[in-house]
Amino acid sequence: MPEAPRAVPAPSLKDALALGLTRAEYELVCEKQGREPNRVELAMYSLMWSEHCAYKHSKKLLRTLPTEGPHVVMGPGENAGAVDVGGGLACAFKVESHNHPSAVEPFQGAATGVGGILRDIFAIGARPIAVLDSLRFGEPLSNATGGARARYLLDGAVSGIGHYGNSIGVPTVGGEVYFEDPYQQNCLVNAMALGLAPREQLVRSAAAGEGNLVVLFGASTGRDGIGGASVLASAELGGADADGGAEVDRRPTVQVGDPFEEKKLLECSLELLHRGLLVSLQDLGAAGLTSSASEMASKGAVGIDIDVAKVPLREPGMEPFEVMVSESQERMLCVVEPANLDAVMELCEKWEVGGAAIGTVTGSRRLRVLDRGGLVGDMPVTALVDDCPLYELRPAKPSKAVYPPPPATLAPDATPRQTLLALLASPNLASRRPLFEQYDAIVQSRTVRRPEQADAAVLAIDPAASAGTASAEGIAGEPVPALAVSIDGNGRRVAADPYRGTVAAVLECASNLACVGAEPLGTTNNLNFGNPEKAHIAWQLTESVRGLGDACRALSAPIVGGNVSLYNEGAAGPIYPTPVIGMVGRVPDARRVAQMGFARAGASVALVGPFAPSLAASELAKLRGEPLADGLAEIDLDAVREAQLAVREAVRAGALQSAHDIAEGGLAVALAECCLAGNLGAEVALAEPFRQTTSPAATERSSTRPLPPAATVLFGEGPGGFVVSGSEEALCRLGERTAVRRLGLVGGEALCILAGGDSQTGPLLEVNLAELRNAHGALAGLFP
Amino acid sequence: MKFGVLRFPGSCDEVDALYAARRVGDAELIWHGERDLKGAQAIIVPGGFSYGDYLRAGAIARFSPAMESVIAFAEDGGLVLGICNGFQVLCEAHLLPGALLGNANRRFTFRQVELEVVNADTPFTRACAGGEPLSIPAKHAWGRYYAEDRTLRAMSEAGQVVLRYAGSQNFNGSLDDIAGVCNEAGNVFGLMPHPEHAVDGLTGSTDGLKIFESMRLAIEGVSA
């Protein structure tokens, strides 16, 4: 049995429990060590075996997801996944959460969330080209104390994201935000980043080469973020009161970001890789040096010795365990051949980035921690990385409602006109302009579609390639290949039906891509759920992952990476189950990308796709204060995919003037959004379209089907619907591929919706553009 | 002609400026630690956060070796364009009058703004018509132009106010809606909006190209 290194106060089971390990896990640690762990080792095990690092409640489920496909260059397991985008280039992308840090300190929590995901991208050698974010808060317009907290978190998170992304020169090109009571205490801050690299220059993180040096570079190491992964990220948030009593105590577990340091680190890392000076590279995130070093060693099937005395420190007197688990930001770890060390240090100096050789690669397959040469910790790499027990979930569908009904904010007898205005003004649907105006969306000169110009962000792959190829007058020159990216995840619909809600979230992303003519290449996801040890949360998680897998398989958009964030609940209960889906697609020619807004008066407007609206778990049901529906309607995945394909092809052919996916608020809200984005009105009629389609078979079916009630037609939700505008001829051609229902014409200064062609009772609703815009601007007051 | 584009460790829009300049001529990056301007006939000090700007935007950058050369270059009559952070740096270096304060809305704000060309008779605007509207994006947190009354009056009389925010477009609270100013000699120009992000119809407007085209005309001695 190996001797316990150097005498340090021996920790006890009690210490292990305080660090988040269970009794059984502690016993297993003792077994793996062949003795009781010392303080350094226990600290390292407690982090590596935390939910955040070990995925111990989710790993078995994640193994069911599709991860392979013709475009996949790098799948799950690396710092980020990557897909082939043509021209010898790969796009790396990933989404990650920083929920609990943001709930405790929103500005730094969100800022370091962006910093962390950017490091994941450049750790594999890709230059970050875009950030998107997915946010969830409580109701921001509520007068209750929860409203004040929602506004504080929203303001802090948006400022933090902007602070980091704007300062580092990576555009924030898109995102989404929902406001619901279940997120009031436990907000969600997920950040997604994309990067580009020549395919053959992508690097992996596996350490290799006995005798090679392990170099830590970037910021110095301090006491910030100690225990972030275990204490903060892998447990439920405490019962914070309105002024956040318990949260104040946890602020020291939140890291502090420095985007200037990261900007230098980014340029330095990419130049090191470009010059071929590194064997492998890994960023430092949760659990700091502990997880980076042990994962590099694990992937390379080697050992690593680290001397904590060689780590540049921000403050004196740090204990070895503190150095090993610190989550100080803006640091990278790399493996370097001894002959290249001087060149590496020279480049660090050029970029004014600190660097130090802190260890060596060994053949021992052990992670050994030294302090001035003396052994203070010695662990088998596989024990740290692979031997954490994985737990079976015990899913059970809850027998009664998990979430209380939301407060009603709309009278049951509201007219269609009042309802449309209330929906447009509801925080979930109102214009995001006050948020995205705080982000630089255009740096790097790639941004072909800015936020609210189209359903997905569109980024030219080569920013210099477009010179002189597009102008207001027309198209000339060579095609401009581009990427499209979308992020989505409506938690309320997943709460109503974890399987179908998740399928719908994946479809929503793919529909967004279709609107700009993009085919999906790959998917990333962040599974935000409550405490998986509870049966009803386990059921949500299991069903949701099943939906995620089925939808990604159906769309041939495999999962290339992602993140799981569990224990998102507080005293008031769990969050809505929130799988956040990020999807990247390829656009052959950015010059032909459609826009969301109506573009030309006189154009025909049509509803495209197998859209079957329902009010279950809709935004209108929420405004009416209805209890959450138990289950959503069945989804015809094949029909939706066919509709997406038809829209995508039509956009690519330049046949459509506008294309917009129908989402929250249904058809009427989608029409209003097209009017607002294009600053043009429209006159449409609904009865006929819902009786007839261009397909004869469908006409036969629908003639026997009763017309749905007006509210359902106007405001019902469901996947597979698009509002498009274009020439009559283009719509005819589209009708050969998928269901196309003529609605009316673009034009005028108002959105006018008639019940039907033969109706003498006047329009169902008529709202002029100014009124629509006024309602849609409801969030402006939150950012004076 | 050849442009030199400065690159500080925290520059963000230097490559964008490089691409924009290359649409009208040659262009090369110049590292902040170097004094050699590489034979550039015009210098662009780009947007970004030069040295992090945690102190005051541009306050440290003005002391960089490259800026020492740029100051001498400007004093010799060389053309210098400062965009956003570059404008802040040029004010800190006293190559331009006035200062840039925190936005009136106290937030970083990104918006496509409409500008009015107040003085079309400068080396930076000669490809524009007087009073011509330009649609160019702005994105900054510290863009509120400030100068003392006396200075403002003198600048206005001398034609040093080159660009103004049109109509209600002044979101940052700049005095007299000032968006861009030049020095007395007319060879140094700074503006908060980003003309390098308005050079391609695919990614926005093309009005910013006129600034770069003007500089080319000025260097090559062709009148518009």
Confidence of residue A226 (pLDDT cuts 50, 70, 90): confident
- Residue ranges with strand state E in A227-352: 280-283, 303-307, 331-336
Confidence of residue A6 (pLDDT cuts 50, 70, 90): low
Residue A223 pLDDT exceeds 60: yes
Residue of B nearest to A589 (CA): B202
Q: Which residue has tokens 């962390």?
A: A116
Which one from B14, B84, B91, B197 is the annotated catalytic residue?
A: B84
Give CA angle at A440 (A485, B15), nearest 5°. 90
Residue A703 pLDDT exceeds 50: no
Taking residue A729's Cβ as centre, other Cβ atoms within 10 Å add up to 10
For B72, residues 6+ apart whose C-beta sits below 8 A from its C-beta are none
For A403-447, the pLDDT digits (tens) are 999 999 999 889 999 999 999 999 999 999 999 999 999 999 999
> What is the token pair recorded at A255?
């890291």
**Residues within 8 A of A (CB atoms), B 75-104 only:** none
For A78-121, the pLDDT digits (tens) are 889 999 999 999 999 999 999 999 999 999 999 999 999 999 99
> What is the token pair recorded at A770?
């100014």
User: Looking at the domain assignment, is residue A179 inside a domain?
Assistant: no
Contact with chain A for residue B10, Cβ under 8 A: yes
Task: Give the per-residue pLDDT at A240.
Answer: 45
User: Looking at the domain assignment, is residue A27 inside a domain?
Assistant: no
DSSP per residue, A341-408? HHHHHHHHHHTT-EEEEEEEEESS-EEEEEETTEEEEEEEHHHHHT-SPP--------SS-SSPPPPP
**Mean pLDDT, rounded, for A498-509:** 98
Yes or no, beta carbons of B16 and A443 under 8 Å apart: yes
For A571-591, the pLDDT digits (tens) are 889 999 999 999 999 999 999
Candidates B105, B197, B202; nearest CB to A470? B202
Runs of H (alpha helix) within A20-141:
23-33, 39-48, 51-54, 59-62, 99-104, 106-123
Sites in chain B below the pLDDT cut of 70: 222-224
**Mean pLDDT, rounded, for A165-185:** 96
Mapping DSSP to helix (H, G, I), strand (E, B) and coil, where does residue A121 land? Answer: helix
Asked whether the beta carbons of B195 and B209 are under 8 A apart, the reply is yes
Q: How many A-B residue pairs are in contact by the CB < 8 A criterion?
A: 105
Task: Give the per-residue pLDDT at A472.
Answer: 45
Domain that holds residue A719: 595-784
A-chain CB neighbours of B23 within 8 Å are 467-468
CATH code, domain carrying A622: 3.90.650.10
Rounded CA-CA distance A200/B27 in Å is 29
Count the alpha carbons within 13 Å of B214 in the hemisphere toward its beta carbon: 24
> What is the token pair recorded at A511?
């529909």
A-chain CB neighbours of B13 within 8 Å are 169, 443
- Nearest one of A327, A337, A324 to A368, comparing CA atoms: A324
For A316, residues 6+ apart whose C-beta sits below 8 A from its C-beta are none
User: Looking at the domain assignment, is residue A690 inside a domain?
Assistant: yes
User: Looking at the domain assignment, is residue A301 inside a domain?
Assistant: no
User: Looking at the domain assignment, is residue A517 inside a domain?
Assistant: no
Residue with the larger pLDDT of the pair A7 and A324: A324
Assign 3-class secondary structure to chain B.
Answer: CEEEEEECCCECCHHHHHHHHHCCCEEEEEECCCCCCCCCCEEEECCECCCCCCCCCCCCHHHCHHHHHHHHHHHCCCEEEEECHHHHHHHHCCCCCCEEECCCCCCCEEEEEEEEECCCCCCCCCCCCCCCEEEEEEEECCCEEECCHHHHHHHHHCCCEEEEECCCCCCCCCHHHEEEEECCCCCEEEECCCHHHCCCCCCCCCCCHHHHHHHHHHHHCCCC
**Mean pLDDT, rounded, for A761-770:** 90
Yes or no, beta carbons of A445 and B197 under 8 Å apart: yes
For A202, residues 6+ apart whose C-beta sits below 8 A from its C-beta are A73, A74, A82, A90, A92, A124, A125, A126
Entry pTM: 0.94
Contact with chain A for residue B107, Cβ under 8 A: yes
ipTM higher than threshold 0.85:
yes
Confidence of residue A599 (pLDDT cuts 50, 70, 90): very high
- Nearest one of A783, A630, A655 to A724, comparing CA atoms: A655
Task: Give the per-residue pLDDT at A694.
Answer: 40
For A549-561, the pLDDT digits (tens) are 999 999 999 999 9
Residue of A nearest to B18 (CA): A464
For chain A, which residues lie within 8 Å of any Cβ of chain B, measuring from their own Cβ? 159, 162-163, 166-169, 258-261, 263-264, 267, 351-352, 436-448, 460, 463-464, 466-472, 480, 590-591, 783-784
> Strands A722-726 and A656-661: what pairing?
antiparallel
Yes or no, beta carbons of B110 and A448 under 8 Å apart: no
In the β-sheet with A765-768, what is the strand arrangement from edge to edge?
A656-661, A722-726, A604-608, A740-746, A682-685, A750-754, A765-768
Residue of A nearest to B206 (CA): A471
Confidence of residue A693 (pLDDT cuts 50, 70, 90): very low
Rounded CA-CA distance A419/A412 in Å is 10
Mutation for A interface: B202, B207, B213, most A CBs within 10 A: B202
Residue A10 pLDDT exceeds 60: yes
Task: Give the per-residue pLDDT at B72.
Answer: 97
Task: Give the per-residue pLDDT at A526.
Answer: 97
Give CA angle at A60 (A56, A66), nearest 5°. 130
- Nearest one of B80, B46, B77, B108 to B189, comparing CA atoms: B80
Confidence of residue A696 (pLDDT cuts 50, 70, 90): very low
- For residue A445, give how far its alpha carbon lies from the nearest alpha carbon of chain B (Å): 6
> Strands A354-362 and A303-307: what pairing?
antiparallel
Contact with chain A for residue B19, Cβ under 8 A: yes
Separation of CA A665 from chain center? 22
Confidence of residue A758 (pLDDT cuts 50, 70, 90): low
- For residue A178, give how far its alpha carbon lies from the nearest alpha carbon of chain B (Å): 22
Contact with chain A for residue B164, Cβ under 8 A: no
- Please name the amino acid found at residue A622: K
Residue A473 pLDDT exceeds 50: no
Asked whether the beta carbons of A467 and A494 are under 8 A apart, the reply is no
Give CA angle at A475 (A473, A476), nearest 5°. 115
Task: Give the per-residue pLDDT at B56.
Answer: 85
Residue A697 pLDDT exceeds 50: no
Largest CA distance in chain B: 43
Contact with chain A for residue B204, Cβ under 8 A: yes
- For residue A434, give how far its alpha carbon lies from the nearest alpha carbon of chain B (Å): 9
Phi, psi (rounded to 5 degrees) for A136: -135, 130
Task: Give the per-residue pLDDT at A234.
Answer: 65
Check residue A452 and give left, alpha or beta (phi > 0: left; psi -120 to 50: alpha): left
Phi, psi (rounded to 5 degrees) for A217: -135, 160
Contact with chain A for residue B32, Cβ under 8 A: no
Mapping DSSP to helix (H, G, I), strand (E, B) and coil, where does residue A268 land? Answer: helix
A-chain CB neighbours of B105 within 8 Å are 784
Yes or no, beta carbons of A439 and B22 under 8 Å apart: no
Task: Return the sign of the alpha-carbon dihedral for residues A364, A369, A371, A376.
Answer: negative
A-chain CB neighbours of B204 within 8 Å are 442
Candidates B48, B197, B200; nearest CB to A169? B48
Rounded CA-CA distance A260/A468 in Å is 34
Structural domain count of chain B: 1
User: Burial code of A485-518, b = ≥16 C-beta within 10 A, e = fewer?
Assistant: bbbbbbbbbbbbbbbbbbbbbbbbbbbbbbbbbb
B-chain CB neighbours of A443 within 8 Å are 12-13, 16, 47, 139, 197
A-chain CB neighbours of B203 within 8 Å are 442, 445-448, 460, 463, 466
Structural domain count of chain A: 1
Asked whether the beta carbons of A560 and A81 are under 8 A apart, the reply is yes
Residue of A nearest to B204 (CA): A448
For A440-453, the pLDDT digits (tens) are 999 999 999 999 99
In the β-sheet with A447-449, what is the strand arrangement from edge to edge?
A447-449, A457-460, A482-488, A578-587, A519-528, A559-565
For A287-302, the pLDDT digits (tens) are 899 999 999 999 999 9
Yes or no, beta carbons of A263 and B110 under 8 Å apart: no
**Residues within 8 A of A (CB atoms), B 178-197 only:** 194, 196-197
CATH code, domain carrying B31: 3.40.50.880
For A337-370, the pLDDT digits (tens) are 999 999 999 999 999 999 999 999 999 999 999 9
* Active-site residue set of A: 52, 98
Candidates A162, A168, A464; nearest CB to B19? A464
Contact with chain A for residue B206, Cβ under 8 A: yes
Residue of A nearest to B33 (CA): A350
Yes or no, beta carbons of B13 and A169 under 8 Å apart: yes
Yes or no, beta carbons of B108 and A467 under 8 Å apart: no
Which one from B14, B92, B114, B196 is the annotated catalytic residue?
A: B196
Separation of CA A766 from chain center? 37
Domain that holds residue B39: 2-220
Candidates A162, A258, A470; nearest CB to B201? A470
